A and B are shown apart, each in its own frame.
Chain A
Amino acid sequence: MSETPAIFTQNLGRVYKLRGPKKKGDPKTIVALTDINLTVARGELFGLLGPNGAGKTTLIKILTTLLLPTTGTARVLGWDVVHQAQEIRRRISMVSGGETSGYGLLTVEENLWMFARFYGLDSTIARQRIGEMLEVVGLADRRRSKISDLSTGLRQKMNFIRGFITDPDVVFLDEPTLGLDVTAARQVREFVREWMQAHPDRTVLLTTHYMAEADELCDRLAIIDKGRLLALDTPTHLKQRLRREAVFTLRVAPLGRRPLRREDMLEAVPGVRQVTVAEQDGATEIKLILDSEDALAGVLDHIHRRGSGLIALEKREPTLEDVFIDLVGRGLDVDTSVRAEEGD
């Protein structure tokens, strides 16, 4: 049994049928996931990295038995998500960033106690564990505050520890630091790391669109976009994919409007693999992935021809963001919606 992976999916897919009035020609279905093949071992801290709308949450909802897959199979701790949901539910928990669950009339402690009882925890043990975890995340002094009196961040912290009080085998964290300030987000990451160290046989599946979070926390990462799995490896190995390429960040005088013809664009310069351009503080920041350093001369020439000039140039070690840009062709900060297709 211990050989059974924590999470296993094979050709997993999910299509949503769109409800409500539609105009002629509008899509009738949305493909949220296509052919997801994934194996997460017990004891792993596994990350799903992708922009909003990539399908991360849909995958989590399937694995947590809240949603049925349309195609393929998914197993959690060896149990089938379709037919053995109750077995899975006993052994997992899920926390979503930005969730507003709980009852405002109840205190922090009472809300957590209520949820712990839904998992069958003894009342006294539940209170004891709640006290301990509130201490760890710095919420002990608010244990008797009604949650309607808590700030969004504190409420999110409360919901976050809800996922751990019930002693789960697999924890699903869906964007756990979404909307948290820097300090609170760091506390959350530290908590996850320490919890994994203290419970090496447990598994965490974390979705995020924060590159640094994924890089810092995860043993392995899957990059997902438009419902498809694009890459799966350790953060180090993913970054090594780009070692042979040259990765630069250029700061130049404002480049002005994007050219209309493709041959006039930066992407058309020979040797340029991927480009992202962002306006920042009155200048233009260009992130480049080049086939080799030799291509840089052409890039600089292109910039001069467009009436701009170099302010700063930095050759960098590849980051996960570069990996993502290389795979997807755009940065993570760009929202994507799931792929829409005609269906019946």
Chain B
Amino acid sequence: MATERVAKATGVRLFWATMWARAYPRMVGTFRERSWLFFETLLPVLAVSGYVFIYRAIQAPPAYTGFAVLGGAMTAFWLNVLWSMASQLYWDKDQGNLEIYVLAPGPLMAVLLGMAVGGMVMTGTRAAAILVICSWLFDVSYQVAQPLWLVAAFVLTMAALYGMGMLFASVFLVSGREAWHLSNLLQEPIYLVSGFYFPVKALGFWVATFASIIPLTLGLDAMRQLIFAGDSGLGFLPVPVELAVQLVLAVVFITAAYFALAKLEQIGREQGRLIERRR
């Protein structure tokens, strides 16, 4: 005797449902976990303050204050990608969620995309808070000459950055504690080589070019050129070139994440790494 069945979405509708379902905890978390106001806003504000006071002490051009503030706000996205994207599946494995993700028919790629979308929304609030507080504290003024270009720079930077996060997450799918160590290793050096608190051009052509593999390097540089229009001479490359590179990075990272995810899920099933928490 066949019993009544519940209708279930497949294909694109399933992908969409899975993505928003996974984004949901992060979006909701923005408002439920208020401790972030202290840890994820005050601490970056202190870091930015350090640079601002140094720039003022050495009488650097006023635009440098804005550079540090913008960089400080963008650190929130880097931290989010490292700890809530790249390492997330490691935590999820430990928690027992990874098995459910793999077992569910919703594509793992949709789970990753949901993590990215939710992470962007959640981190956007942190970044905005840092930006507002620091701008008010240090009296930063902005001159946005081409707002559409600025929006494009931000969107492409986010796409490339979270695409990289998805790739890291795929690679870390079969990893254990090394995911944690690698995230730790990447955190501070990237602050330096990506020029979070100063124009990356100052590091020289080759270092800046090498650092451009991290999407925030060129993204931040483009946004600085567009926001502080009077000091565009400090930019590393012309804005259209930087945006084109970001677009390429976004496509490459997301595509690579897709293939890596499929391959590493297979390896995980072969080696038992998706379930090793319970063995």
Query: Which A residues are closer than 8 A to B by beta carbons?
Result: 16-17, 57, 61, 64-68, 86, 89-90, 92-94, 96, 99-103, 105-106, 110, 113-115, 117-123, 125, 129, 146, 162, 166-167, 198-202
Contact = CB atoms under 8 A, between A and B. Distances in A.
B99 A94 contact: yes
A120 B21 contact: no
B21 A66 contact: no
A121 B103 CA distance: 15
Majority DSSP secondary structure for residues of B touching A: helix
B56 interface: no
B100 interface: yes
B149 interface: no
Contact of A125 (B3, B6, B13): B6
A120 B278 contact: no
7 contacts: A66-B274, A66-B275, A90-B105, A114-B24, A118-B17, A119-B105, A202-B3
Interface string B87-109: 00000000111011111111000
A134 to B, nearest CB: 17
B103 A64 contact: yes
- Rank and list the top 10 A-B pairs by shortest CB-CB distance, nearest first: A120-B9, A117-B21, A118-B104, A120-B8, A101-B96, A118-B106, A167-B6, A120-B14, A99-B96, A90-B105
Interface string B31-42: 011000000000
Which residue, of A89, A92, A120, A125, has the highest number of chain B Cβ atoms within 10 A?
A: A120
Contacts of B101: 118
Given A61-B275, A202-B3, A120 B32 contact: no
A68 B269 contact: yes
A101 B275 CA distance: 13
Contacts of A86: 105
Given A118-B21, A119-B104, A120-B106, 5 more contacts: A100-B96, A110-B24, A114-B25, A118-B22, A118-B100
Contacts of A90: 8, 10, 105
A67 to B, nearest CB: 6
A105 B24 CA distance: 11
B137 interface: no
Given A121-B8, A125-B6, A66 B28 contact: no
Interface in B172-227: none
A203 B45 CA distance: 57
B28 A68 contact: no
A114 B21 CA distance: 5
B139 interface: no
B6 A129 contact: yes
Contact of A115 (B2, B8, B13, B104): B104
A200 B269 contact: no
B75 interface: no
B67 to A, nearest CB: 35
Which residue, of B6, B22, B28, has the highest number of chain A Cβ atoms within 10 A?
A: B6
A117 B20 contact: yes
B1 to A, nearest CB: 5
Contact of B25 (A61, A103, A118, A200): A103
B7 to A, nearest CB: 7
A121 B8 CA distance: 5
A67 B274 contact: yes
B145 to A, nearest CB: 41
B278 A16 contact: no
A17 B5 CA distance: 41
Contacts of B13: 120
B117 to A, nearest CB: 14
B50 interface: no
Contacts of A146: 32
Nearest to A87: B105
B272 A117 contact: no
Contact of A96 (B1, B32, B95, B96): B96
Interface in B212-271: 269-271
B275 A67 contact: yes
A1 to B, nearest CB: 11
B18 interface: yes
B170 to A, nearest CB: 17
B18 A67 contact: no
Given A61-B275, A105-B28, A66 B3 contact: no
A96 B278 contact: yes
B7 A17 contact: no
A89 B279 CA distance: 22
Given A16-B279, A119-B106, A120-B10, A106 B28 contact: yes
Contacts of A103: 25, 29, 97
Which residue, of B1, B25, B105, has the highest number of chain A Cβ atoms within 10 A?
A: B105
Contacts of A118: 17-18, 21-22, 100-101, 104-106, 111
